[in-house]
Amino acid sequence: MIAGHEYVHGYSGREAERLVDQANAVTELLHRDTRYPDGTRVLEAGCGVGAQTVTLAVNSPGARIVSIDVSAESVAAAHERARAAGVTNVVFQRADIYALPFAPASFDHVFACFVLEHVPRPVEALTALRRVLEPGGTLTVFEGDHGSTYFHPESAAARKAIECLVELQARAGGDSLIGRSLYPLVVSAGFQAVEVSPRMVYVDASRPHLVEGFTKRTFTAMVEGVGERALAEGLIDAAAWQRGIRDLYRTAEPDGTFCYTFFKAVARNP
Amino acid sequence: MIAGHEYVHGYSGREAERLVDQANAVTELLHRDTRYPDGTRVLEAGCGVGAQTVTLAVNSPGARIVSIDVSAESVAAAHERARAAGVTNVVFQRADIYALPFAPASFDHVFACFVLEHVPRPVEALTALRRVLEPGGTLTVFEGDHGSTYFHPESAAARKAIECLVELQARAGGDSLIGRSLYPLVVSAGFQAVEVSPRMVYVDASRPHLVEGFTKRTFTAMVEGVGERALAEGLIDAAAWQRGIRDLYRTAEPDGTFCYTFFKAVARNP
């Protein structure tokens, strides 16, 4: 979570559970090619409640990881999660991505997952991250893109519900369509050798763990989670909202399909 | 092309050129895991002008391929293209997918690329194809999904232009959003072990061959190709159309990105 900006998904217990379901369903997609050598210094920027931190730490057991978040409450939750998992190579710290309390070139690698989508000035945030990287150090960024969502059966009501989430995230200063623009953002922040690889989640009835873990408990749960605010802000009426959520669940039936794409960017500090 | 239904993209020379550009840009995506053993009998259903036929034949040089299309003119063009490429393991024949002139179990494998999207009754077509397959024979289907398109910079005008193409294809009896629903369609036609794998085309400035070969000369050219009909049918006015096309080309600039997904389905006849 980022300084001074509301986290669009809130901080409820159910949201924390959703983040863990999401991490489980997409862990392989995200982490399969993210490994840091022993002894390297890694900054995890915007660790939130630590949904990715444990996997990051377990996959790079010899790396020395510093995980930061602007929310003291999230940092405490992440710390507790890492402790419970027996992770010992992560130090947690409250810090603002725009005002990092680290000297230049303090890290060999920076990792940021689902952070830029909530940042009002992503190029500025990326530039700040670049300053604490060694020359030749790497940046790894992972983001979703809610506009990459499509499904069968098609439903205007479901699209409208998703648009409410996109709009609320925009009102909170974020950009939930950011995945598709990682390449120009990372280039603009002065990185080189920028490589973006999309990671598409495709769900049909032959993949029941994704029907449950992604379509229902990650994506649709995320949309459902902003229902009260969407209604309170007058973006939609209750009946239309219920139709939208119903139609999202409809895509999890045996003849339904669901598509969503995450984007990973890797780049080098010159 | 399918019996009695207009081919939405028409039959101009420029369209034939576009189909070849498209085949070049997506050949690897489509054909990389499509190989048929020596001596097997393969039906290519809806070969059109043969944009995929040569690659299919070259990758499976010992297979005996029969390529059909409902348009005699397309069959002649495909035949000529295969002859020019020195392909000798393909027989061409004019035939209607709904009334196949083959005995049951005539083929070990069926291959159909960019065909179902133009078919008014895809389950009926798939069922007809299944009947000419041996028990245990395989079906391979490849389709796009125009609703899988998104890009940066975002543009309502560009979306509107794409929607014109979707609407024209629907009026011609097709479904250009069919990629996402291959799984239920193939299951409904009685196939087993249905496996769908999405093949996403992601384009940014680090991939100049895709900027040219896909964003501009395949996708945007395809949309441009229906401009006259979109205007003639009153789906859009000329100024809005021009804005849409301009904004599609805009995504091919150095800070632009473009995403599109093809879907491959492989299944077994029980």
Q: How far is CA B120 from CA A182, A188, A226, B169, in A?
A: 39, 47, 39, 10
Q: Each residue of A240-263: pLDDT tens digit?
A: 999 999 999 999 999 999 999 999
ipTM of the complex: 0.91
Mean pLDDT across the stretch A128-144? 98
Nearest-CA distance A40 → chain B (Å): 28
Question: Residue A257 and residue B177: Cβ atoms within 8 Å?
Answer: no
The first and second tokens of residue A26, run together, are 């997409």
The answer on pLDDT for A3 being more than 50 is: no
A18: left (phi over 0), alpha (psi -120 to 50) or beta: alpha
Question: Residue B259 and residue A261: Cβ atoms within 8 Å?
Answer: yes
Question: Residue B204 and residue A184: Cβ atoms within 8 Å?
Answer: yes
Q: Each residue of A202-227: pLDDT tens digit?
A: 999 999 989 999 999 999 999 999 99
User: For residue A4, what pLDDT is reported?
Assistant: 41
Find, among B38, B70, B39, B65, the residue nearest to B52 by Cα: B65
**Phi, psi of A66, deg, nearest 5:** -115, 120
Which one is predicted more confidently, B165 or A51? B165
Nearest-CA distance B175 → chain A (Å): 12
The first and second tokens of residue B6, run together, are 């207009």
Determine the residue of chain B that is closest to A265 in CA distance.
B204
**Phi, psi of B57, deg, nearest 5:** -70, -40
> A226 with A7: CB under 8 angstroms?
no
A198 to chain B: which residues are within 8 Å by CB?
200, 202, 259
Q: Which of A150, A177, A204 lies nearest to residue B183, judging by beta carbons?
A: A204
Q: Which of B152, B181, B195 lies nearest to residue A184, judging by beta carbons?
A: B152
Q: Each residue of A54-82: pLDDT tens digit?
A: 999 999 999 999 999 999 999 999 999 99
Find, among B86, B90, B73, B96, the residue nearest to B13 by Cα: B73
Q: Each residue of A87-120: pLDDT tens digit?
A: 999 999 999 999 999 999 999 999 999 999 999 9
User: For residue B13, what pLDDT is reported?
Assistant: 65
Question: Residue A183 and residue B206: Cβ atoms within 8 Å?
Answer: yes
Question: Residue B177 and residue A154: Cβ atoms within 8 Å?
Answer: yes
User: For residue B30, what pLDDT is reported?
Assistant: 86
Helix axes of A156-171 and A238-250: crossing angle, nearest 10 degrees: 110
The first and second tokens of residue B140, run together, are 């391979």
**Phi, psi of B68, deg, nearest 5:** -120, 155
Mutation site, B151, B154, B167, B181, interface A, largest A CB count within 10 A = B181
- Single pTM value for the model: 0.91
A200 to chain B: which residues are within 8 Å by CB?
198, 200, 261
Q: Which of A152, A177, A183 lies nearest to residue B181, judging by beta carbons?
A: A152
Nearest-CA distance A135 → chain B (Å): 22
Mean pLDDT across the stretch A17-30? 70
Find, among A114, A158, A135, the residue nearest to A251 by Cα: A158
Task: Give the pLDDT of chain B (270 residues) as one tens digit per residue.
Answer: 444 446 666 666 666 666 655 657 688 888 999 999 999 999 999 999 998 999 999 999 999 999 999 999 999 999 999 999 999 999 999 999 999 999 999 999 999 999 999 999 999 999 999 999 999 999 999 999 999 999 999 999 999 999 999 999 999 999 999 999 999 999 999 999 999 999 999 999 999 989 999 999 999 999 999 999 999 999 999 999 999 999 999 999 999 999 999 999 999 999
Distance CA B123, CA B135 (A): 18
**Percentage with pLDDT > 90 across chain A:** 88
> What band does A1 get if pLDDT is binned at 50, 70 and 90?
very low
Pairing label, strands A90-94, A107-113: unpaired
